[in-house]
Amino acid sequence: MIEMAGPALKQLHSHRAIHEGGLSGAIGKTELLIDFLQEGDQKNAERAANDLVDYWKTRVISHADAEEDGFYQEIVTENPTMEKSVTQLTRDHDLIRIIVADIEVLRETEGISPSVLQKFYALLVVNEIHSREEERLLFTESPSKDA
């Protein structure tokens, strides 16, 4: 069963606002983590890392889930030629999920290591590119629904 996507996902300006808000929040939380590490405040760095992982799950991945559960399916139903683009965008979501899971495993064995920090930065890059490509592929290249 296809769930209907909410109106915010279907309009470029509101969808872009969701992306920009999600990315700016992740950047801010990543910078806070780095600040604590630079200050040598391990206790607050651990809290910030936990908060950052939680943010990726509850804000970014939950947005990805909503897109996949309705919005992407609607796009492909309305325009089957968009299937390849939707598959590529879904893979981006999978990469974000994989990186977050990797961070959780690494933190158990290494704490907040350079590898963990690299993966936090990788999330920012993947998310930024994904959002830009999603907006380009789904909002500027797809045929108008009024056409």
pLDDT given for residue 10 in this prediction: 78
pLDDT given for residue 84 in this prediction: 96
**pTM assigned to the model:** 0.88
Low-confidence ranges of the chain (pLDDT < 70): 1-8, 141-147
Give SS3 for 144: coil
Structure tokens at 60: 């970014």
Question: What is 11-140's CATH number, 2.60.120, 1.20.120, 1.10.286, 3.30.310?
Answer: 1.20.120
pLDDT given for residue 90 in this prediction: 98
- Alpha-carbon distance of 80 to 60, in angstroms, equals 26
